[in-house]
Amino acid sequence: MEDALLLALQLLGATIRVATPLVLAAFAGMYCERAGVVDIGLEGKMLAGAFFSAAVASATLNPWLGLLAGIAAGVALALVHGFACITHNGNQVVSGMAINILVAGLAPTLAYAWFQQGGQTPLLPNQARIPAVELPGVEALSGIPVLGPVYRELLNGNNVLIWVTLVLVIATHWVLYRSRFGLRLRAVGENPAAVDTAGLSVAKLRYQALLVTGVLTGMAGSYLSTGHGAGFVRDMTAGKGYLALAALIFGKWRPGPTLFACLLFAFTDAVQVRLQGVVLPGIGVIPVQFIQMLPYVLTVLLLAGFVGKAIAPKASGIPYVKER
């Protein structure tokens, strides 16, 4: 019984750790898409955040400066996306893909030029990584059935950004549905002409949404390279930006269902790691490549029709041209 509980808690803990960058990226996409801006470039912003965070942390041995650098990179690319799509009414999908392609090539090129280690940053020492939070009373509670293992295995030792993500999930729900800014944000994603008629700037609201998107994607990338990992490697986001978009669509642009989708994808990813090399009765060892594709197969199946019709905000992806 204790072994089964411990295994379940370890799997759940791995799910939370894997889900953190997905949640940050998905909620980043939620802000901009609720404002009517499609952002396919979540992947590129995460990758840029991961690289600059690891590079600065490696140079300064300060994880907080690395985190700020990652956020700055995400915000800078978000502003580039806004300049192309809001100011100049460019195609939002093309702009997002251009960001992804640009960062996929630029990040390892800069890493090679700066560190001479084959397109990656040096391995970060512990003092250069975002620390974990050690909760008090672990030893005192360890002898209590169920509560002790849950406190020790699931709550204690989590990265700072995991707790920040939890706060951001709650804050996002409040901002979108309880604040004036959230009301205006949702309105500009549904009917920008009405918002403009009310005397509010559609461009300003959309730029504000993209700033939030840049901050959250930068944090997601920083978590990957300086929190969960210990340095930057080529393509380390591994499609997590696209998975976050899939979770956003699965959740129909709402915080609760989107969080559930991120946890579901992360759980599948955590399971596939533990299934590698396991001998199944009557089957034998499943090829690693088959197991690794499970999260992506789940994504395709869910988006192919198992979640019902997902309706995006009405103005999503449509440039707003003010009538004169």
**Given this model, what pLDDT does residue 198 score?**
87
Tokens read off for 111: 């890493």
Tokens read off for 110: 């800069």
**Given this model, what pLDDT does residue 84 score?**
93
**Given this model, what pLDDT does residue 306 score?**
55
Residue-wise over 38-65: b if at least 16 C-beta within 10 A, else e?
Answer: bbbbbbbbbbbbbbbbbbbbbbeeebee
**Given this model, what pLDDT does residue 41 score?**
92
Q: Which one is predicted more confidently, 205 or 304?
A: 205
Q: Write out pLDDT tens, residues 178-193.
A: 999 999 999 999 989 8
> Which residue from 310, 307, 19 is spatially nearest to 162, judged by alpha carbons?
19
> Which residue from 47, 49, 59 is spatially nearest to 124, judged by alpha carbons?
59
Q: Write out pLDDT tens, residues 121-158.
A: 999 999 999 998 888 877 777 777 777 777 777 788 88
**Given this model, what pLDDT does residue 307 score?**
57
**Which of 47-51, 219-223, 305-309 has the lowest average pLDDT?**
305-309
Q: Which residue do the tokens 């360890």 mark?
A: 142
* pLDDT tier, 9 (very low <50, low <70, confident <90, very high otherwise): confident
118 Rama class: left (phi>0) / alpha (psi -120 to 50) / beta: left
Going from N- to C-terminal start, the domains of the chain cover 2-238
Q: Write out pLDDT tens, residues 234-284.
A: 889 988 899 899 889 888 889 999 999 899 888 888 887 777 666 667 666
Q: Write out pLDDT tens, residues 63-122.
A: 999 999 999 999 999 999 999 999 998 899 999 999 999 999 999 999 998 888 888 899
**Given this model, what pLDDT does residue 55 score?**
94
**Given this model, what pLDDT does residue 101 score?**
94
Tokens read off for 120: 């990656």
Nearby residues of 273 by Cβ (< 8 Å), 6 or more positions away: 14
**Given this model, what pLDDT does residue 229 score?**
86
Tokens read off for 230: 């210990």
Query: Whole-number mean pLDDT of the chain?
Result: 87
Q: Write out pLDDT tens, residues 49-65.
A: 999 999 999 999 999 99
* pLDDT tier, 315 (very low <50, low <70, confident <90, very high otherwise): confident
> How many angstroms separate the CA atoms of 232 and 218, rounded?
14
Q: Write out pLDDT tens, residues 168-179.
A: 999 999 999 999
**Given this model, what pLDDT does residue 76 score?**
96
**Given this model, what pLDDT does residue 271 score?**
80
